[in-house]
């Protein structure tokens, strides 16, 4: 059985990131630290896990809803493809520092390793009639420029005003061949699949550079345009409706429909009843919840060797 490899996007809370990595022991973890953050605290927090943790050599400054998130994901992907422990049937599981496991590493490995040809990338087609999604590609968005301008003499508010003005003036659609697919960013694909669609991911990223939230579009579109789509749950999951949000299309994560809720100890029974492998979102305020997850969900199982 090939063990999964964790691709973790981090930008804050080094201690929480380290806690998540420890909870995933002994799985291998590759970490991308946002290029705007100081990497030293993350290196210190993960020093004791250095035998199974590595950092990407290429770091990207990540902006919200912009193509830079996809570039950070491809940095993780390229780092994984350079390793020998990422096997053809191993899954690369994308997480962030706001995710936490709900199952012991052995169970996570058993679920994914027990289905070595299954890909976890649910998505739906972005249809012109979709009020939830069509606007993401029917005009250009300038969130990446906004991130850059915010570091100039402009204030963040000024940078936002400039970019919203550009969006009002520039009514050109994003030029990308259809269909385009949308789904959760938190996917898990095998090495064989990712090697096969790697060039398509890069080409799709270039085409969707000015889309809104391309992290929910690029990998999903490259994947669902390929033959690999037949190996996932519901290749075009229209049963959830054309306006389904990414939270409705989760793969391995328990996600709140709001996609912004931070889970707390009050949510434990709901979390414990879930069959998902991970929960999102948590932050340092979630420590009491994570303590209960460790004791009740992770600690009782036999360690994964």
What is residue 203's DSSP assignment? H
Contacts of 161 (CB under 8 A, 6+ apart): none
Provide the pLDDT for residue 237: 59
- 200, 226 Cβ separation under 8 angstroms: yes
Axis-axis angle for helices 67-81, 191-207 (nearest 10): 150
Helices (H), ranges, 57-190: 67-81, 105-113, 143-149, 156-169
Encode pLDDT of 145-166 as tens digits.
998 888 788 888 999 999 899 9
What pLDDT, on the 0 to 100 scale, is given for residue 150?
84
Q: Are residues 109 and 242 in the same domain?
A: yes
129-156 average pLDDT score: 89
* Closest residue by Cα to residue 202 from 74, 94, 68: 74
The average confidence (pLDDT) of the chain is: 92
- What is the pLDDT confidence band of residue 303, given thresholds at 50, 70 and 90? very low
Task: Report the CATH number that the domain containing residue 208 is assigned in CATH.
Answer: 3.90.550
Domain with 109 in it: 5-125+174-298
Residue 87 lies in a domain: yes
Together in a domain, 87 and 145: no
The pLDDT of residue 301 is above 60: no
133 lies in a domain? no
pTM above 0.85, yes or no: yes
Q: What is each CA distance from 292 to 40, 171, 261, 289, in whole angstroms?
A: 29, 50, 19, 5
| Total number of domains constituting the chain | 2
Whether residue 304 is predicted with pLDDT greater than 50 in this model: the reply is no
- On whether both 80 and 225 belong to a single domain, the answer is yes
Q: Is residue 305 part of a domain?
A: no
Of 222, 234, 241, give the one whose Cα is nearest residue 176.
Answer: 222
Least trusted range by pLDDT, from 27-36, 41-50, 285-294, 295-304 = 295-304
Beta strand 99-101 pairing with 278-280 = antiparallel
pLDDT at residue number 116: 83
Look at residues 209, 128, 140, 210 and name the one whose alpha carbon lies nearest to residue 168.
140
Interval 45-96: pLDDT, tens = 999 999 999 999 999 999 999 999 999 999 999 999 999 999 999 999 999 9
Q: Is residue 160 part of a domain?
A: yes
User: Which pLDDT belongs to residue 190?
Assistant: 97
Asked which of 148, 172, 196 is the last residue of a domain, the reply is: 172
Q: What is the mean pLDDT of residues 179-189?
A: 96
Residue 238 banded pLDDT, cuts 50, 70, 90: low
Q: Evaluate whether residue 130 is within a structural domain.
A: no
Is residue 235 located within the same domain as residue 162? no
């Amino acid at each position: 059985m090939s063990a999964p490899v964790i691709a973790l996007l981090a930008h804050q809370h080094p201690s929480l990131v380290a806690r998540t990595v420890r909870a995933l022991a002994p799985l291998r973890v590759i970490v991308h630290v946002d290029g705007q953050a100081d990497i030293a605290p993350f290196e210190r927090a993960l020093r004791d896990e250095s035998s199974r943790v590595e950092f990407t050599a290429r770091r990207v400054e990540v902006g919200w809803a912009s193509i830079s998130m996809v570039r950070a994901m491809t940095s993780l992907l390229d780092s994984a493809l350079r390793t020998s422990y990422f096997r053809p049937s191993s899954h690369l599981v994308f997480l962030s520092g706001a995710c936490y496991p709900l199952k012991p590493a052995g169970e996570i490995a058993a679920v994914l390793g027990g289905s070595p040809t299954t890909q976890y990338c649910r998505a739906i087609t972005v249809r012109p009639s979709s009020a939830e999604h069509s606007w993401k590609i029917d005009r250009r968005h300038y969130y990446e420029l906004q991130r850059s301008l915010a570091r100039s003499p402009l204030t963040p508010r000024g940078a936002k005003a400039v970019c919203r003005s550009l969006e009002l003036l520039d009514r050109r659609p994003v030029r990308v061949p259809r269909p385009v697919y949308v789904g959760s960013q938190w996917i898990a694909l095998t090495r064989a699949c990712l090697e096969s669609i790697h060039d398509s991911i890069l080409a799709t990223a270039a085409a969707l550079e000015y889309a809104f939230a391309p992290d929910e579009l690029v990998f999903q579109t490259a994947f669902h345009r390929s033959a690999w789509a037949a190996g996932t749950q519901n290749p075009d999951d229209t049963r959830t409706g054309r306006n389904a949000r990414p939270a409705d299309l989760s793969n391995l994560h328990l996600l709140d429909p709001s996609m912004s809720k931070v889970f707390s100890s009050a949510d434990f029974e709901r979390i414990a009843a879930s069959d998902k492998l991970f929960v999102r979102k948590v932050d340092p305020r979630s420590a009491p919840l994570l303590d209960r997850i460790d004791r009740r969900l992770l600690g009782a199982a036999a360690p994964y060797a």
